[in-house]
Amino acid sequence: MNNYSFITMSENNIISIDSVIENLISIHPLLSKTFTRSIRHKTNLNPGSLYVLGVLTHYEKLSMSEIGCKLAMPKPHVTNQVDKLIVENMVERFFDPADRRIINIRITPKGIEDFNDIKQSISEEMRHKLELLDNETLEKLSVASLQVKEILMTIDMDRTKTSGTCCKSE
């Protein structure tokens, strides 16, 4: 392989990476516009609170730092979200029995019920919009969304392996 071929391959790789970056940057606003906005009027919870509820439904209990780590959310923001959820009786603080200096957070039965209702509402809204697609487009979206999810999970796992992780439970 000559130097010219190597430069061309490298330039193609940069162009490809730039294209991926542009596509990924545009996905979040499109998802928000297409699906999330219509849900906002069905709950008084903001997306950050929903993310906290989601991570707490997946794990039995987490410290504030662990929630922040798993959501890539600054600890003061986590504290703000958790405080709002405590007022709504959706989560509760409790001392870690092994180390009373550690305060953990867990979702309450009301939090589980409300979060499941919100997820159901989001699913219904998404289903309504996705039913407008023809079968071929829906199949493409199914395959593409699964591939994007798997690739992003791989990138996250690789990041965790190379940089270490701030979360004890990972």
Question: pLDDT digit string (tens) for 92-109?
Answer: 999 988 888 989 999 999
Q: Which positions ≥6 away from 121 have C-beta within 8 Å?
A: 39, 42, 43
What is the model's pLDDT at position 32?
78
Any long-range contacts for 133-137 (C-beta under 8 Å, 24+ apart)? none
Q: How far is it, in rounded angstroms, from Cα 89 to Cα 106?
A: 11
CA distances from 157 to 13, 40, 56, 153 (A): 22, 31, 20, 6
Q: For residue 42, what pLDDT band results from cuts at 50, 70 and 90?
A: confident
Model-level pTM?
0.75
Q: How far is it, in rounded angstroms, from Cα 66 to Cα 162?
A: 19
What is the model's pLDDT at position 10?
62
Residue whose C-alpha is closest to residue 51's, from 91, 21, 87, 22: 91
* Mean pLDDT of the chain, nearest integer: 85
What is the model's pLDDT at position 5?
47
What is the model's pLDDT at position 58?
93
Q: How far is it, in rounded angstroms, from Cα 64 to Cα 77?
A: 10
> Which of 5-9, 77-81, 105-109, 161-165 is least confident?
5-9
User: What is the end-to-end Cα distance of the chain in Å, rounded?
Assistant: 43
CB atoms within 10 A of CB 4: 8
pLDDT digits (tens, 9 = 90+) for 49-58: 999 999 999 9
